[in-house]
Amino acid sequence: MPLRRRLKARSQSPPKRSASGSPSPRRDGLDNVDDGEFDNMLAPASMNIGLEEAKRVRNDFRSSCLNRATTCAVSGEGEPWCPGPPTGPGVQACHIVPQQHYHLYPSADRHHVDDDTPVEDSPRRLREAWQHTWNPRNGILLMKHLHEFFDARLFSIHPLTLRIRVFVPCNALARFNVQKASVPATTDRKALRYHYEMCCIENMAAERPILDAGSPSEGKKATSGTGTPFDARTDLPVTPSPPKISQETLLETAWRKKRKRFY
């Protein structure tokens, strides 16, 4: 896949410090991100984006998100207590479709001859998907801890009703379940749908009990020497019926699996 990482510049001047010895606060009101932000920033190889251009795109995304909202879309928190910054500390601009997954951005446009071509083989579609990912319509403001939960797909926002759906029994999220999120009217509902559907798929799989797939000898009999795991097979080993499991046990099992993957 023609994707590549945008590496951070080797030499960067440290942030200016005040007389107290602490770095000067950001004027845009948003929290600083991790130092390795550009290590995780992806872009199509054909775009040849430099570090300065990447900084401009990132800053434009953040400032545009601030122009559309000033508080957390879920909790409503983050208002500043003094004039100056547009929002208080702890508020971050969050991608709905993660920028690392830009090539999966949903698109309904079907007006080009290469629309049937896989997205990884179309430089135009890759470029458009990357641009959509950094469009402010793909962004919402979230408190820092809710940003982490959102990226981990522990909760989502329904694309039609804008109701918050919590997928794990986490006390930090439970109070927001079924509440209505406050998102700008111009937010891309296709991006919200993508995030919501991915949350449903991942959390349904987490609740699924582990089943016995059969013995290795049965697996060898079912596949010929030239076959692959993707070949059509009619003699799959019989999977035993899963035992009856209470809802509480399913929720606890799902939460343990999500915690192990998240932490």
Share of the chain above pLDDT 70, in %: 60
The per-residue pLDDT for 228 is: 43
The alpha helices in 164-215, defined as continuous H runs, are: 189-207
Prediction pTM value: 0.67
Q: Give domain status of residue 178, yes or no.
A: yes
Beta bridge partners, 17, equal 23
Q: Give domain status of residue 1, yes or no.
A: no
Q: Give domain status of residue 136, yes or no.
A: yes
Q: Which stretches in the chain have pLDDT values below 50?
A: 1-2, 5-27, 32-35, 218-239
Q: Give domain status of residue 28, yes or no.
A: yes
Q: Give domain status of residue 29, yes or no.
A: yes
The per-residue pLDDT for 256 is: 65
Q: Give domain status of residue 72, yes or no.
A: yes
Closest CA to 86 of 103, 69, 106, 100: 69
The per-residue pLDDT for 189 is: 96
Q: Give domain status of residue 243, yes or no.
A: no
Task: Give me the domain span that covers residue 126.
Answer: 23-207
What is the number of domains present in the chain? 1
The per-residue pLDDT for 172 is: 94
CA 84/CA 159 separation, integer angstroms: 33
Kindly compute the dihedral angle of the four CA atoms of residues 26, 30, 36, 37, in this order, to the nearest 10 degrees.
-130
The per-residue pLDDT for 233 is: 44
Q: What is the CA radius of gyration of the chain?
A: 23
Beta bridge partners, 143, equal 91
Q: Give domain status of residue 35, yes or no.
A: yes
Q: Is the dihedral of CA 14, 19, 23, 29 positive or negative?
A: negative
